[in-house]
Amino acid sequence: MRRTPVKIVVAGGFGVGKTTFVGAISEIEPLRSEAVMTDASTGVDDLTDVTRKTTTTVAMDFGRVGLGEDLVLYLFGTPGQGRFHFMWNELSRGAIGAVILADTRRLDDCFAAIDFFESRAVPFVVAVNTFHGARFHQLEDVRAALQIPATTPVGYCDARERHDVQRSLVGLVTHALVQARTEVPSA
Amino acid sequence: MADQPSEGRFVRPYAITGGRTDVDLDIDVATQIEATPRGVAAQSRYRWEAAQVIDVCRNPVALMEIAAALSLPLGVVRVVIADLEKDGAVGVHRPADEDLNSASYTELLERVLEGIRSL
């Protein structure tokens, strides 16, 4: 039985809950894979904060969800820093889109991800993680702070809660569908 | 497998590939890889890492899953898989061209949406 794989990227800053998000819905314990970044695969500017090493190992966690018999969804939690862009390129190639997890105490952490996906026209939604309990900001304030258009969904998500994660994914795929239909009027 | 050390296990990863990293990058991280009957039959004749790849993908699994299962970097696993594919020992499920046009893409997204809603 051939299953068609589809990908969704889960991006966001360090410690924002990417692996928790993936684990909340994955049918397997999130697995860890590593890729080696060399100075040949990244821009010079991207290495400004890598003082001594010219290679860095990037770990990313991923999970898997079977969607019926012939589809399998992979969720990739990927490091948020700009110097890991090479990995985002790889993961977002052919991906449905990205869920950008945001922590309202550290909104700056998701600017790099937003810039990346926006510039490549990869559909994305912003999920404000309520993992730490409180809802510190109104969603519209978050949208304004992140300077994202009104058409891009922004919602709350407790990354520990399967239902919240499911809702964020539904939001992303719905958004991707709207974008796909806009780009190509149906024949 | 981790408690079955063999000498190959301790080779530096890029020594496995002879330093090559310039392989067919069209194998996406999510591309499904499946061992062929021929690969399974010939498994014992392969070096450690190739034999392990065949073992892990007796049922279709993603490239990324193989890398994680063997604790090898993605780039290394790509090289091993490209070699095994040339041998006919594994099949690489590449998307068909007709799956890439926009009409079938929206249809795919609809199926994904339905699938996630039904979880």
Say if the Cβ atoms of B29 and A31 lie within 8 Å: no
State how far the Cα of B119 lies from the Cα of B110, in Å rounded to an integer. 15
pTM of the model as a whole: 0.84
pLDDT at B2: 44
Q: Which residue in the set B60, B68, B116 is minimally distant from A32, CB to CB?
A: B68
Look at A169 and A141; give whichever has higher pLDDT.
Answer: A169
**Partner B, chain A 100-139, Cβ-Cβ below 8 Å:** none
Average pLDDT of chain A, as a whole number: 83
pLDDT at A51: 46
Instruction: Scan for tokens 């002879």, then name that residue.
Output: B18
State how far the Cα of A111 lies from the Cα of A128, in Å rounded to an integer. 13
Say if residue B107's pLDDT is above 70: yes
SS3 at position B91: strand
Q: pLDDT per residue over A79-111, tens digit each?
A: 766 666 777 888 888 899 999 999 888 888 888
B107 and chain A in contact, CB less than 8 A: no
How many C-beta neighbours within 10 Å does residue A121 have?
9
Q: What angle do CA B65, A120, A114 make, to 5 degrees?
A: 85
| Residue B75 with chain A: CB contacts under 8 Å | 35-36
pLDDT at A131: 72
Look at A183 and A174; give whichever has higher pLDDT.
Answer: A174
Look at A141 and A135; give whichever has higher pLDDT.
Answer: A141
pLDDT at B22: 54
Distance (Å) from the C-alpha of residue B11 to the closest C-alpha of chain A? 16
> And the tokens for A87?
């990995």
Query: CA of A174: which chain B residue's CA is closest?
Result: B113
Q: Do the Cβ atoms of A122 and A98 come closer than 8 Å?
A: yes
Q: pLDDT per residue over B25-71, tens digit each?
A: 578 899 999 999 999 999 999 999 999 999 999 999 999 999 999 98
